């Protein structure tokens, strides 16, 4: 990595030993630009660079400046020259300031610097000349990200800043994401931020705010917690760029030496002052005006950029009689500190109801203009959206598995071997770093070039592979215990365990079950439940044979309790002749469906599978399919009715919840929009714009609005024994040639499954490849029901909150543009759930039919969704486009497909799942939705251990070589704890709480690879429900409180008693990122214009004061809390272990709260 020149280093070291002179120059420079003279505006020059963590080039190419022909960007040079030009030896360098944001890049740069440079940079940070805003690993997206991943990437960046500089940011900086969520604002408040800034909002909204001078606002992002969620929010007036005609990063345009020709500083200064008076002062209520001085990958030559701003600032300040303004270098934190001293009353956004029962609000969707609604990226690149979610679940599993094993081993006095510890700590960092990069607003959003998407995918896949190798240590130990207890002759002295995972199990490819290809072959399926509650779950295992014996071999589990299972032929897999000689030879023709019941929290389950041969045991009787026109799937939970002769797009006709008696008439089909490719704005990676159908097309096709519905369908019931735990039917869509030509016969399909004891319907779906012929295509899964939902529907916000939506309506303004884009303007991001419901009882025949109904669809990845008419939900699942939408990517969204079975480049095939609930609105529906969401994000970690390797299995390896992942891992210690951790298998967690994080702290960022320290444990708890989520007519207050009411949790229950000791655990509560004690947080107190008296806006210095502010209608002035911060306006982060301890290990969480703790062992 590049270090600073030797001359500069010498100057830097010299400067460090001249503190008096440096301090004097800083004071002198500051005094020349200080303060707000009476009646004058103060211009805050915020020097910054916006460095995308991947977009047109990969993150490492951007850092090193490679492939300049694609994009002239070199982040290493940017940071280097900025640091050089903050050094006081440069003219007036002492008063220069700079704001940096993306820690993925700063960490890369920092690792390559010398001790001298590091000391110089630390000095700049201490003096406030170099400040950090946001401070996450990236600037994450807000539409396609899950709140768990958002917190994790922030934590990674904040940990680096805290460990390296002992500081944390006080401001959020979300300047480039394409719409903004309520959950993101709430999380920023919990981080301790005083405010945050963004640049993209609906054009109609922004125009109204400019007119009303409401670009600055106090945003109540989570009404359920009141003032704790209040955060200052600014929609920036000039995007995040330089003021017009004053791009100091471009060619020099100011000549500031009067002795040289073409001296133009006075003219340029006057032009700048006029611009401020005409275009900026009239948009804000305050005299303080923040000016963003930067843009994408600016400051590659920081000397050149700073020089122009130096001249302008000096000249304006030297002419107080001429200009009605002063100017100075500033930062977002400095700006808010100065602004708070004005006691400005801010307009509000959100619901400030005193009973904390208000509705949530956000900034979606982003309409740039009437032809450009940025709603396509909600779905773009569905493959990486699904991969991010699965790798995130893997990270959470490995964190909990490693920490639980480490604590159990330490409690017994046998710490984990160094090999297992080093491998796991390395894997944890690899996962966190890959996921941190993937949250970037041009990564999981799907708005990057194809080559960059491939790089993101590779990083995630490599990190996942490393993580599975680490998890193999712990699985191997459990299996070794089992083999020692049941040795096979000859008994090995120390068994060697081979393990593999199956990333392609969703297409029936699994190297881990090859051993079942021969009679007598055996495989152990090892699963880890990361959930904090015991749960029932379904596991599908691709197998090569039909007659499989299933035995639960988990120590401590009674063998007399049978495991429910069935083996069925997979209709998506061809026969042996069709599979011969292709990659499909690796596909398994059968699916073993296991129901794992009452799987304890944070525990293992070991299931042995054995091929018993054709006649080894009697098969269960299969259900006979009759000749009726109707076909049924039925369990004690649900009944699904299908029309076997369906030809109008939907075979599913009726759904009945047998427990509640509720039913709905339903049509469920695939449909697609034709992408607009004509003159003007086109549909692309960012923007969704449909092509209106012609009357001729409407006459020839089955249509729904502007969508063409797939009508050629066939329903097939998957044959299974009568005692099978699940029933399944598949509806195949014979797509017309206009949509898909698939040489390998991959049909579009919906697969419906209901299982005994599982109170939901699973709908697996598959689409692709989409044709790259004459028009782009945007495919939706379309639900039409008889639910009378009107124009209302609800979508989640980053998986954390639910927000009610209304067609053709925005809470803050009256939209006009939507009339030109009736579909795309009514799309919203869905990260976990969307529902429609009836608000009141409908008078119908029968008691149950008069109950209101709610249809909820839970997703396994981020997607765009809408309800374009009463009773309808559509979720966009796939896109393939032929044109670019002219937003910078420079290539159309044409994914060729990658990975097993997609080498031909014909187009991306994608599969996923929906989880569907039909319930009455109220506590039960809200609870089941949250539990379903948690089941998706807390998926099982599964590996396979073949116990007998056969020639057949060996011969099959070549066909799936790209998929095979083998581990040879010796058992490393004997746990003696059976199938579950003895101190966690009986963990008691209230149903309305979630153990969001249970992980070792990540430390030692100065090392080549940071490592986890399991003596310091991070625990993050979440109350899953907000106020009013359980409200419905006729619901008792007791039922509501069971969900929304406060819940207690004892942190000590997470740890072995022998590690707690007589004095108990030492616990410190922290801000959300876990890097600063909550007692250190002092947020600015903002005033709201509709309040008659000052009101605290979410002070988090102590929980009690924050809660008291909701009752007291008076508070201290805004400047009071700001004074508690350092002069440089950042949070100092003294070691958390020095902070005051909690008085008790039992903590209480109220509705919608998230609380974070560091526990010292």
Q: Are 242 and 294 in contact (CB under 8 A)?
A: yes
Residues constituting the chain: 1161
Report pLDDT for 178: 98
Burial of 843 (0-12, 13-18, 19+ CB in 10 A): exposed
Residue 637 or 564, more confident: 637
Report pLDDT for 28: 38
CA atoms within 13 A on the CB side of 114: 12
Cα–Cα dist 629/189, whole Å: 57
Cα–Cα dist 225/223, whole Å: 5
When pLDDT is cut at 50, 70 and 90, the band that residue 91 belongs to is: low
User: 268-327 pLDDT, tens per residue?
Assistant: 999 999 999 999 999 999 999 999 999 999 999 999 999 999 999 999 999 999 999 999
- Mode of pairing for the β-strands spanning 130-132 and 98-100: parallel
Cα–Cα dist 1080/192, whole Å: 9
Determine phi and psi for 738, rounding to 5 degrees: -65, -20
Q: What is the largest CA-CA distance in the chain?
A: 102
User: 906-925 pLDDT, tens per residue?
Assistant: 789 999 999 999 999 999 99
Looking at 759-845, which runs of residues are DSSP E strands?
761-767, 777-785, 792-797, 801-806, 828-830, 833-837
DSSP bridge pairs for 783? 668, 873
Mean pLDDT of 846-875: 91
Cα–Cα dist 517/539, whole Å: 20
Looking at 352-495, which runs of residues are DSSP E strands?
367-369, 372-373
pLDDT surpasses 60 at 337: yes
CA atoms within 13 A on the CB side of 372: 19
Mean pLDDT of 633-658: 91
pLDDT surpasses 70 at 623: no
Run of H or E residues at 963: none
User: 986-1037 pLDDT, tens per residue?
Assistant: 888 999 999 999 999 877 766 666 766 668 899 999 999 998 776 665 567 7
Q: Are 879 and 778 in contact (CB under 8 A)?
A: yes
Report pLDDT for 740: 58
Report pLDDT for 549: 94
pLDDT surpasses 60 at 864: yes
Please list, residue by residue across 762-776, b when 16 or more beta carbons sit within 10 angstroms of its beta carbon and e when fewer do: bbbbbbbbbbbeebb
pLDDT surpasses 70 at 484: yes
pLDDT surpasses 50 at 6: no
DSSP bridge pairs for 594? 539, 565
When pLDDT is cut at 50, 70 and 90, the band that residue 373 belongs to is: very high
Cα–Cα dist 1059/1159, whole Å: 12
Crossing angle between the packed helical segments 418-438 and 103-111, to the nearest 10 degrees: 130
Determine phi and psi for 1126, rounding to 5 degrees: -70, 160
Q: Are 779 and 670 in contact (CB under 8 A)?
A: yes
pLDDT surpasses 70 at 1097: no
pLDDT surpasses 60 at 831: yes
End-to-end Cα distance, the chain? 38
Determine phi and psi for 130, rounding to 5 degrees: -110, 115
State the Cα angle at 255 between 251 and 257, rounded to 5°.
Answer: 145
DSSP bridge pairs for 617? none
DSSP 378-409: TTSSHHHHHHHHHHHHHHHHHHHHHHHHHHHH
Pick from 547, 614, 515: nearest CA to 951: 515
User: 185-209 pLDDT, tens per residue?
Assistant: 999 999 999 999 999 999 999 999 9
Report pLDDT for 913: 98
Q: Helical H runs in 92-140? A: 103-111, 115-127
Q: Helical H runs in 319-381? A: 332-340
Rg (C-alpha) for the chain, rounded Å, is: 30
Report pLDDT for 587: 84
Q: Are 299 and 78 in contact (CB under 8 A)?
A: yes
Report pLDDT for 1108: 45
Report pLDDT for 741: 52
pLDDT surpasses 70 at 524: yes
DSSP state of 530: -
Cα–Cα dist 65/108, whole Å: 13
Non-local (6+) Cβ contacts of 1144 within 8 A are: none
User: 774-830 pLDDT, tens per residue?
Assistant: 889 999 999 999 999 999 999 999 999 999 999 999 999 888 998 889 999 999 999
Taking the CA atoms of 788, 792, 796 and 800 in sequence, report the sign of the dihedral they define: negative
Q: Average pLDDT, whole number, for the chain?
A: 85
Mean pLDDT of 1129-1138: 74
Any idea which residue has 């503190």 for tokens? 19
Burial of 161 (0-12, 13-18, 19+ CB in 10 A): buried
Cα–Cα dist 108/110, whole Å: 6
pLDDT surpasses 70 at 30: no
Q: Is the peptide bond before 769 cis (omega within 30 degrees of 0)?
A: yes
User: 42-82 pLDDT, tens per residue?
Assistant: 999 999 999 999 999 999 999 999 999 999 999 999 999 99
Cα 339 off chain centre by: 32
What separation in angstroms does the CA of 562 have from each of 485, 559, 565? Answer: 20, 7, 9
Report pLDDT for 339: 96
Report pLDDT for 495: 55
Cα–Cα dist 586/204, whole Å: 54
Report pLDDT for 842: 59
Report pLDDT for 1126: 56
1065's tokens: 């655990």
115's tokens: 């001790």
Helix, coil or strand: residue 467? helix
Above pLDDT 70, what percent of the chain?
82
Helix, coil or strand: residue 38? coil
pLDDT surpasses 90 at 458: yes
User: 706-763 pLDDT, tens per residue?
Assistant: 999 988 788 889 888 888 999 999 998 876 655 655 544 456 899 999 999 999 999 9
Report pLDDT for 3: 43
Write down the domain spans for the chain. 6-11+38-347
96-110, 319-333, 370-384, 496-510: which range is least confident on average?
496-510
User: 131-174 pLDDT, tens per residue?
Assistant: 999 999 999 999 999 999 999 999 999 999 999 999 999 999 99
130-139, 227-236, 559-568, 615-624: which range is least confident on average?
615-624
Left, alpha or beta for 152 (phi > 0: left; psi -120 to 50: alpha)?
A: alpha
Cα–Cα dist 587/578, whole Å: 11
pLDDT surpasses 60 at 5: no
- Mode of pairing for the β-strands spanning 325-330 and 41-47: parallel
User: 1035-1061 pLDDT, tens per residue?
Assistant: 677 877 888 999 999 999 999 988 887
Pick from 176, 880, 62, 101: nearest CA to 452: 62
Helix, coil or strand: residue 943? strand
pLDDT surpasses 70 at 35: no
Report pLDDT for 840: 77
Count the neighbouring beta carbons within 10 Å of the beta carbon of residue 402: 27
pTM of the model: 0.91
Q: Are 247 and 379 in contact (CB under 8 A)?
A: no
Q: Are 194 and 1083 in contact (CB under 8 A)?
A: yes
Pick from 605, 607, 595: nearest CA to 537: 595
Pick from 76, 73, 74: nearest CA to 1: 76
Left, alpha or beta for 492 (phi > 0: left; psi -120 to 50: alpha)?
A: beta
Burial of 1031 (0-12, 13-18, 19+ CB in 10 A): middle
Report pLDDT for 214: 96
619's tokens: 């098969």
Cα–Cα dist 773/542, whole Å: 35
pLDDT surpasses 60 at 614: yes
Q: Which CATH number fits domain 6-11+38-347: 3.60.15.10, 3.20.110.10, 3.40.50.1820, 2.40.30.110?
A: 3.20.110.10
Run of H or E residues at 754: strand 748-755
Above pLDDT 90, what percent of the chain?
66
pLDDT surpasses 70 at 903: no
Cα–Cα dist 379/893, whole Å: 11
Q: Are 568 and 719 in contact (CB under 8 A)?
A: yes
Report pLDDT for 985: 76
Report pLDDT for 489: 55
Cα–Cα dist 533/935, whole Å: 10
Report pLDDT for 352: 85
Q: Are 617 and 547 in contact (CB under 8 A)?
A: yes
Cα–Cα dist 823/706, whole Å: 8
């Amino acid at each position: 990595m590049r270090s600073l020149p030797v001359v500069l280093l010498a100057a830097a070291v010299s400067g460090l030993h001249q503190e008096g002179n440096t301090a004097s120059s800083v004071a002198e420079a500051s005094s020349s630009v200080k303060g707000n003279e009476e009646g004058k505006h103060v211009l805050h020059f915020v020097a910054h660079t916006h460095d995308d963590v991947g977009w047109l080039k990969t993150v490492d190419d951007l850092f090193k400046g490679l492939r300049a022909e694609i994009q002239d960007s070199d982040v290493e040079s940017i940071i280097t020259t900025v640091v050089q030009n903050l050094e006081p030896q440069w003219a007036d360098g002492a008063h220069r300031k700079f704001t940096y944001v993306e820690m993925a890049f700063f960490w890369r740069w920092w690792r390559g610097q010398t001790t001298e440079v590091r000391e110089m940079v630390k000095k700049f940070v201490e003096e406030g000349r170099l400040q950090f805003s946001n401070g996450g690993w990236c600037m994450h997206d807000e539409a396609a990200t899950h709140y768990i991943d958002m917190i994790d990437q922030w934590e990674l960046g904040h940990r680096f800043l805290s460990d390296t500089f002992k500081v944390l940011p006080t401001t959020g900086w979300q300047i480039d994401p394409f719409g903004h969520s309520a959950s993101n604002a709430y999380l920023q408040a919990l981080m301790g931020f005083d405010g945050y800034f963004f640049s993209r909002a609906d054009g109609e909204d922004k125009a109204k705010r400019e007119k009303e001078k409401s670009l600055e606002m106090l945003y109540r992002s989570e009404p359920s917690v009141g003032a704790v969620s209040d955060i200052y929010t600014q929609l920036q007036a000039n995007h995040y760029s330089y003021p017009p005609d004053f791009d100091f990063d471009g060619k020099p345009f100011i000549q500031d030496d009067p002795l040289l020709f073409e001296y133009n500083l006075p003219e340029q200064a006057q032009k700048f002052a006029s611009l401020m008076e005409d275009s900026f002062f009239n948009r804000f209520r305050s005299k303080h005006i923040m000016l963003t001085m930067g843009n994408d990958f600016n400051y590659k030559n920081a000397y050149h950029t700073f020089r122009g701003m130096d001249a302008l600032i000096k000249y304006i300040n030297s002419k107080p009689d001429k200009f009605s303004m002063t100017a100075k270098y500033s930062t977002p934190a400095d700006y808010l500190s100065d602004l708070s001293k004005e006691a400005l009353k801010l307009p509000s956004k959100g619901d400030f109801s005193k009973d904390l029962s208000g509705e949530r609000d956000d900034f979606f969707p982003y309409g740039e203009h009437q032809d450009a609604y940025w709603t396509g990226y909600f779905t773009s690149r569905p493959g990486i959206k699904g991969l991010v979610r699965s790798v995130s679940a893997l990270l959470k599993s490995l964190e909990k598995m490693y920490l639980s094993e480490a604590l159990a081993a330490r409690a017994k006095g046998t710490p984990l071997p160094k090999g297992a510890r080093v491998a796991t700590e390395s894997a944890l960092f690899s996962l966190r770093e890959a996921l941190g990069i993937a949250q970037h607003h041009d990564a999981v959003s799907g708005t990057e070039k194809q080559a960059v998407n491939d790089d993101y995918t590779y990083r995630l896949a490599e990190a996942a592979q490393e993580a599975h190798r680490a998890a193999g240590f712990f699985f191997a130990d459990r299996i070794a215990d089992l083999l020692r207890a049941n040795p096979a002759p000859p008994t090995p002295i120390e068994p060697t365990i081979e393990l593999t995972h199956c990333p392609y199990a969703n297409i029936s490819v699994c190297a881990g079950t090859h051993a079942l290809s021969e009679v007598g072959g055996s495989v152990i399926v090892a699963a880890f439940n990361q959930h904090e509650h015991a749960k029932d779950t379904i596991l599908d295992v691709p197998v090569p044979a039909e007659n499989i014996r299933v035995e639960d071999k988990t120590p401590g589990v009674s063998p007399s309790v049978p495991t429910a299972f069935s083996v069925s032929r997979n209709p998506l897999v061809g026969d042996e002749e069709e599979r011969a000689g292709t990659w499909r030879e690796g596909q398994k023709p059968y699916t073993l469906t296991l129901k794992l019941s009452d799987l304890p929290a944070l525990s293992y389950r070991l299931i042995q599978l054995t091929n018993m041969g054709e006649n080894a045991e009697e098969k269960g009787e299969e259900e006979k399919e009759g000749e009726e026109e109707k076909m049924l799937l039925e369990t004690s939970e649900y009944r699904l009715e299908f029309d076997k002769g369906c030809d109008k797009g939907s075979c599913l006709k009726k759904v009945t919840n047998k427990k509640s008696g509720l039913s709905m008439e339903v049509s469920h089909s695939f449909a697609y929009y034709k992408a607009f490719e004509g003159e003007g704005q086109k549909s692309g990676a960012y923007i969704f714009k449909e092509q209106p159908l012609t009357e001729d097309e409407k006459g020839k096709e089955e249509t729904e609005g502007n969508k063409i519905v797939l009508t050629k369908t066939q329903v097939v019931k998957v044959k299974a024994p009568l005692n099978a735990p699940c029933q399944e039917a598949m509806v195949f869509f014979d797509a017309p040639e206009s949509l898909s030509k698939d040489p390998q016969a991959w049909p579009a399909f919906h697969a419906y499954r209901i299982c005994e004891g599982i109170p939901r319907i699973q709908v697996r779906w598959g689409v692709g490849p989409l044709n790259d012929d004459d028009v782009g295509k945007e495919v939706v899964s379309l639900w039409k029901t008889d639910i009378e939902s009107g124009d209302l529907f609800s979508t989640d916000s980053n998986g954390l909150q639910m927000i009610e939506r209304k067609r053709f309506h925005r809470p803050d303004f009256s939209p006009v543009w939507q009339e030109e884009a009736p579909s795309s303007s009514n799309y919203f991001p869905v990260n976990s759930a969307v529902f429609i419901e009836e608000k009141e009882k409908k008078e119908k025949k029968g008691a149950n039919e008069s109950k209101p109904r709610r249809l909820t669809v839970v997703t396994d990845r981020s997607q765009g969704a809408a309800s374009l008419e009463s009773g309808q939900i559509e979720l966009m699942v796939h896109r393939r486009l032929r044109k670019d939408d002219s937003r910078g990517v420079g290539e159309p969204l044409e994914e060729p497909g990658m990975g097993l079975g997609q080498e031909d480049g014909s187009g991306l095939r994608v599969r996923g799942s929906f989880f569907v609930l039909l319930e009455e609105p109220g506590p039960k529906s809200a609870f089941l939705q949250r539990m379903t969401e948690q089941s998706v994000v807390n998926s099982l970690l599964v590996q396979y251990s073949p116990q007998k390797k056969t020639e057949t299995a060996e011969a099959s390896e070549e066909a799936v070589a790209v998929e095979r992942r083998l581990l040879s891992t010796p058992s490393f210690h004997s746990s003696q704890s059976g199938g579950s951790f003895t101190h966690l298998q009986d963990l008691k967690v209230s149903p309305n709480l979630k153990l969001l994080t249970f992980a070792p702290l990540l430390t030692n960022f100065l090392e080549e690879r940071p490592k986890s320290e399991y003596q310091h444990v991070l625990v993050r708890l979440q109350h899953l429900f907000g106020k009013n989520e359980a409200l419905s007519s006729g619901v008792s207050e007791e039922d509501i409180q069971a969900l929304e009411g406060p819940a207690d949790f004892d942190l000590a229950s997470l740890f072995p008693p022998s590690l707690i000791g007589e004095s108990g655990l030492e616990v410190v509560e922290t801000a959300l990122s876990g890097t600063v004690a909550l007692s250190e947080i002092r947020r600015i107190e903002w005033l709201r214009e509709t309040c008659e008296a000052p009101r605290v806006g979410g002070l988090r210095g102590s929980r009690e004061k924050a809660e008291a502010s909701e009752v007291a209608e008076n508070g201290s002035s805004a400047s009071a809390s700001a004074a508690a911060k350092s002069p440089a306006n950042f949070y100092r982060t003294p070691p958390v272990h020095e902070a005051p301890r909690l008085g008790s290990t039992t903590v209480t969480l109220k509705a919608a709260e998230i609380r974070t703790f560091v526990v010292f062992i």
